[in-house]
Amino acid sequence: MPTVPPLAEVEILSQGDEVLEGEVADTNAAEIARAVVDLGLPVGRHACVGDDPAAIAALLFEAAERATEVICTGGLGPTADDHTAAAVAEAFGLALCEHPRALEQVRARYARRGRDLDETGRRQARIPAGARVLENAAGTAPGFVLDRPPARLWCLPGVPSEMRAMLARHVLPALRARYPDLAPARLVRFRCLGLPESRAQLLLGDVARPGVRVGYRAVLPEVQVKLRFAPDLAPGAVERILAETGARLGASVFAVEDGEQVGAIEEVVGRLLLARGQTVAAAESCTAGRLCAALTRLPGSSGYFLEGAVVYANEAKERTCGVPRALIEAHGAVSEAVARALAEGVRARAGSTWGLATTGIAGPGGGTPEKPVGTVHVAVAGPVGTRHLALRLVGDREEVMARAVAAVLGLLREVILAPRPG
CB nearer to a copy of itself: give 104 or 399. 399
Work out whether 3 is an interface residue with a copy of itself (CB under 8 A). Answer: no
Cα separation, 394 vs 271, whole angstroms = 29
- Residue of the chain from 153, 155, 195, 214 that contacts a copy of itself (CB under 8 A): 214
For 122-179, the DSSP string reads HGGGEEETTPEEE--TTSS--EEEEEETTEEEEEE-SSHHHHHHHIIIIIHHHHHHH-
Which residues are 224's β-sheet partners? 191, 217
Q: Which is nearer to a copy of itself, 315 or 329 (CB)?
A: 315
Residue span binding a copy of itself (CB under 8 A) among the ranges 97-105, 260-268, 286-294, 413-421: 286-294
> Any contact of residue 320 with a copy of itself (CB under 8 A)?
yes
Instruction: Specify the long-range contacts of residues 368-373, CB closer than 8 Å, at least 24 apart.
Output: 371/332, 371/334, 373/400
Which of these ranges, 90-98, 240-248, 394-402, 406-414, lies near a copy of itself under the rule CB under 8 A?
394-402
267 belongs to the binding site for a copy of itself (CB under 8 A): no
Residues 40, 272, 296, 331: which binds a copy of itself (CB under 8 A)? 296
Of 110 and 419, nearer to a copy of itself (C-beta) is 110
Taking the least distance from each CB to a copy of itself, the nearer of 178 and 213 is 213
Q: Does 218 bind a copy of itself (CB under 8 A)?
A: yes
> Could you say whether residue 190 binds a copy of itself (CB under 8 A)?
no
The nearer residue to a copy of itself, 233 or 288, going by C-beta atoms, is 288
Task: Give the residue with the Cβ less far from a copy of itself, 1 or 183.
Answer: 183
The dihedral of CA 285, 287, 291, 293: what is its sign?
positive
Work out whether 198 is an interface residue with a copy of itself (CB under 8 A).
yes
What is the footprint of a copy of itself within residues 77-106 (CB under 8 A)? 77-81
Give the contact letters, 47-66, x = binds to a copy of itself (CB under 8 A), - = no.
xxxxx---x---x-------
Q: Indicate the residue among 24 and 243 with the shorter CB distance to a copy of itself.
A: 24
Which residues, at least 6 apart from 189, have a Cβ–Cβ distance to it below 8 Å? 224, 225, 226, 227, 256, 257, 258
Q: Which of 299, 397, 413, 404 is nearest to 342 (CA)?
A: 404
Which of 1, 31, 25, 3 minimizes the C-alpha distance to 12?
31
> Taking CB under 8 A as the rule, does residue 368 contact a copy of itself?
no
The pattern of x and - marking residues 137 through 156 that bind a copy of itself according to CB under 8 A reads -x-x----------------
Number of chain positions touching a copy of itself (CB under 8 A) = 99
Give, as ranges, the residues between 110 and 139 that touch a copy of itself (CB under 8 A): 112-114, 118, 120-121, 138
CA distance linking residue 116 with residue 191, whole number of Å:
47
319 binds a copy of itself (CB under 8 A): yes
Q: Does 364 bind a copy of itself (CB under 8 A)?
A: yes
Contacts of 265 (CB under 8 A, 6+ apart): 191, 193, 221, 222, 254, 255, 294, 406, 409, 410, 413
Query: Would you count residue 252 as binding a copy of itself (CB under 8 A)?
Result: no
Count of other CB atoms within 10 angstroms of residue 404: 28
For residues 77 and 62, what is the distance between their CA atoms, to the nearest angstrom? 24
Q: What are phi and psi of 224, to 5 degrees?
A: -110, 130
Residue 73, SS3 per DSSP: strand
Residue 217 DSSP symbol: E
Told to check if 312 binds a copy of itself by CB under 8 A, we report: yes
Residue 313 contacts a copy of itself per CB under 8 A: yes
318 lines the binding site for a copy of itself (CB under 8 A): no
Nearest-approach distance from CB 288 to a copy of itself, in angstroms: 4
Among 99, 74, 102, 98, which Cα is nearest to 87's?
74
Residue 210 contacts a copy of itself per CB under 8 A: no
* 18 touches a copy of itself by CB under 8 A: yes
Instruction: Give the separation between CA 143 and CA 27, rounded to whole angstroms.
Output: 19
Shortest CB 294 distance to a copy of itself, Å:
8
